[in-house]
Amino acid sequence: MYILVINAGSSSLKYQLFDMPSDKPLCTGLIERIGTNEALIRHKILTTEPGLTIERKGTIADHAEGLEQMLQLLSDTETGLIHSADDIQVVGHRVVHGGERFAKPTLITPSVKEAIKVLFPLAPLHNPINYQCIEIAEKTFPRAKQIAVFDTAFHQTLPAYAFRYAIPDTLYVHEGIRVYGFHGTSHKYVCGKAMTWLQKPDAKLISIHLGNGCSMTAVRAGQSIDTSMGFSPLAGLVMGTRSGDIDPAIIFHLISLGYSTDDVNTLLNKQSGMQGLTGLSDMRDIGKAVAAGNRSAELALEIYAYRIRKYIGAYAAVLNGLDALIFTAGVGENDSAMRERICSALDVLNIHLDSSKNSAHSSEIRDVSRDQATVKILVIPTNEELEIAVQSYELLHER
């Protein structure tokens, strides 16, 4: 069964093609800078050794044109993997916000599309693009079943005492204001890998997803029981451009200083976090600044790591124990120095990182804790596209 997975961002589109039930992709692709004349497509064919990478640069006006070019690459007469769009049997879509309605992968129908539209205000940067890509894919791959996998779905197992805010009840009942959590597809994938690696289906895990967006999730026996992002992706950890947790009174104070609500929204989502502390949002650039003696950059890294350590302590208490920490996503997988900062001074939780193991590089699951440590520290590469493909395949085989 050919399953094409589409993971769309506001100006980017990641995709992978699978011949399920094999979990090895036939190809992967990334389209960046959509909407500009400097767009880049990087299409990797993985069916041959050592593989073939095709790059194209130029203008891609919108996601529709991006999907059209993706189809051209997939069906190319010389290097293509399919003959036509009709060969694609399933298109799996990452949809960021599913509200309380969607707790599992869902076959897309007109009513499901309308529900995704209703949730636009809760994820204004993501759900409209996800919806647009669904509509484009329906036209591009007319014979394929379209399936939505929601980032918020994994967190629908949160107990009420974890997802409710201490605000008037009517705001939850009528306005849906509660903790939804995000990055659920990534957290689910890496926790599944960890339970298999540990050979412990009832494992107590803390999953730490560190990219430009950052979140943590406490997981017991494969179920999310608490998570750091909340009603929106703004809450929780310090991120590339997002503030994470702040005192809500700061918002009122900023408004009293003359900031509009739009100004505050832009400030907290796009001008804060590491960007606000250092003028830089990429951790690689911040690392270079630290090496050059920049004290503000050094402090920013300590703030970033300290916030994560606070959540580790909180989630270890929530779980009443801990079997493993999981580091994943771009920073979590690749920044060994940040993992060391985070894991320092956690002896009370029996968390002990091995520096030599931590500095080694691998694309596989690896344990970077000391040999005798009771809590494992696992670095697990995430693969949201594979998780979406697996969930889509399983949904169709349940029917």
Do 387 and 23 touch, CB atoms closer than 8 A? Answer: no
Using CA atoms, how far apart are residues 304 and 79, in angstroms rounded to an integer? 44
| 332 labeled binding residue | yes
| 169 labeled binding residue | no
| 330 labeled binding residue | yes
Using CA atoms, how far apart are residues 155 and 103, in angstroms rounded to an integer? 8
| 338 labeled binding residue | no
| 176 labeled binding residue | no
| 283 labeled binding residue | yes
Using CA atoms, how far apart are residues 223 and 147, in angstroms rounded to an integer? 22
| 127 labeled binding residue | no
| 14 labeled binding residue | yes
3-state secondary structure of 279: coil
Quote the radius of gyration of the chain (alpha carbons, Å).
21
Which candidate in 19, 23, 62, 151 is catalytic? 151
- Of 29, 26, 90, 31, the C-alpha closest to 64 is 31
Q: How far is CA 311 from CA 179, 187, 223, 325, 392, in A?
A: 16, 16, 18, 12, 32
Other CB atoms within a 10 A radius of the CB of residue 245 amount to 15
Is 169 considered catalytic here?
no
| 384 labeled binding residue | yes
Instruction: Give the full edge-to-edge strand order of the sheet including 106-107.
Output: 52-58, 39-45, 25-32, 13-19, 2-8, 90-95, 145-150, 106-107
- Of 87, 85, 182, 97, the C-alpha closest to 136 is 85
**Among all chains, which residue has been given the structure tokens 């402090």?**
299
**Among all chains, which residue has been given the structure tokens 């169709």?**
396
- Of 226, 246, 251, the C-alpha closest to 234 is 246
Q: Residue 121 has what DSSP assignment?
A: G
| 188 labeled binding residue | no
| 331 labeled binding residue | yes
Cα angle 351, 355, 359 (rounded to 5 degrees) comes to 125
Do 347 and 387 touch, CB atoms closer than 8 A? Answer: no
| 313 labeled binding residue | no
Do 43 and 16 touch, CB atoms closer than 8 A? Answer: no
Residues constituting the chain: 399
- Here the tokens at position 221 are 């026996």
**Among all chains, which residue has been given the structure tokens 């993992």?**
339
Q: Mind telling me the catalytic residues?
A: 151
What residues form the annotated binding site for ATP? 14, 209-213, 282-284, 330-334
What residues form the annotated binding site? 7, 14, 94, 209-213, 282-284, 330-334, 384
What residues form the annotated binding site for Mg(2+)? 7, 384
